[in-house]
Structure 1
């Protein structure tokens, strides 16, 4: 299950897993994007099942997990990739912009992990991969919001690694560098 499969890293990850024969549930925010994604995969002789999942909504995240389970799928790997960058000085941004970025980049990770953990814990196996950033380990000017989000993802990952290790669940961060 790959959260944020519609473009970039999420799309590349979905394709990589599909090529290796995994049953891929690609989470996207809208049915239109899901259909485009499905056509792209079919055109490349790959299989993906699009799933609508808005990480800013607990109900949407829970519905996505329920869809996967009812579809007969099981969640062996969760890739938390949904996110975006907000580049600006602190005094230029509004509370609404700050709250939205945290809602997507940080609280979305909490929501998806919280929804998936009971299923992987029951199996006593699985993996959660949170997509972080090199900027989760260093600060740069105009990236205060984004850096703080990615620092939070590092903290979530480190804590979950300890919590879930006794259940055979691996938790990792992949932290791409600057492009």
Structure 2
């Protein structure tokens, strides 16, 4: 009997590639997105159902979860993929921007997990995979709010694993580095101000550095990942049967973690200041 995975944020990028990858491997896939019209090509796959789901809307979550369980009978894996980046100085971020970032990246994932717990407990089985980022383990300048959601999801996942183990429910985390998708355009919100210019020079340098990071030919850390590569990592996490919790994806992610371990907090801080802002800290 084919297994089934439920995935959020599947209209493009990593989410869409993961739907296609699992479907090719013979899995049933519940592909969810805010606008199902964007998933018509996925709905044409024989083992994929597309559902409307907005992770910031609890009713939307409950309806999609209920319908997917009705359609497939049993959900084996849940992948929390939906998310976006809020970039810019914390000082300039509005209250609404901060709330939306946490509502999407953290509380949305929490609410999807909560919605599936009765189903997983009834089956005495289930796997939750949370897509965070290498940015849930290390930080870069001017991304404090994005990092805070990813650090929080990392800690939440690790702690939640203790209390769910007794029900046969496991939690894993996949942490990509730079992924060559439209993240830098359609999945970014900027905190800016026309009246505060203190940060403009840094933000210009940061934009130039991120452009290099998001290009496989100019990435200074040995290259990031394609969405297909991340999908393959997610599939490994879903199927390897191991007790491993964290899965890095991308040479750049591996290099950043190694650099943090080697140089410590202060040394890593200096490396980021030099690499992304051209400054000696």
Q: TM-score over 0.5 for the alignment?
A: yes
Is the contact made by 2:20 and 2:42 (CA closer than 8 Å) also made in structure 1?
no
Question: Following superposition, which runs of at least 4 residues in structure 1 exceed 6 angstroms of deviation?
Answer: none
Q: Could you tell me how far 1:47 is from its partner in structure 2?
A: 3.2
Which position in structure 2 is the counterpart of 1:136? 136
Contact persistence 1:102–1:149 (CA under 8 A):
yes
The whole-number CA distance in structure 1 between the counterparts of 2:42 and 2:94 is: 33
SS at match of 2:138: coil
Unaligned 5+ runs, structure 2: 1-5, 180-281
Distance in 1 separating the partners of 2:39 and 2:129: 22
Aligned mate of 1:21, from 7, 26, 37: 26
Equivalence for 2:187: none
TM-score by length of 1: 0.92
* Secondary structure in 1 matching 2:176: coil
SS at match of 1:71: helix
Query: Aligned pairs, how many?
Result: 174
SS in 2 for 1:49: strand
> Separation in 1 of the partners of 2:42 and 2:165?
34
Residue of structure 1 equivalent to 2:13:
8
1:4-33: per-residue Cα shift (whole Å, max 9, x none)? 111111111111111111110001102312
Calculate the aligned-residue CA RMSD, in Å: 1.3
Q: Which residue of 2 aligns with 1:104?
A: 104
Contact 2:7 2:78 (8 Å CA) reproduced:
yes
Which residue in 2 is equivalent to 1:84?
84
- Residue 177 of structure 1 deviates from its aligned partner by 1.2
SS in 2 for 1:26: strand
Q: How far has the Cα of 1:113 moved from its partner? A: 0.3
Match of 1:32 among 37, 40, 43: 37
User: What is the distance in 2 between the residues matched to 1:79 and 1:111?
Assistant: 13
Q: SS at 2:101's partner residue? A: helix
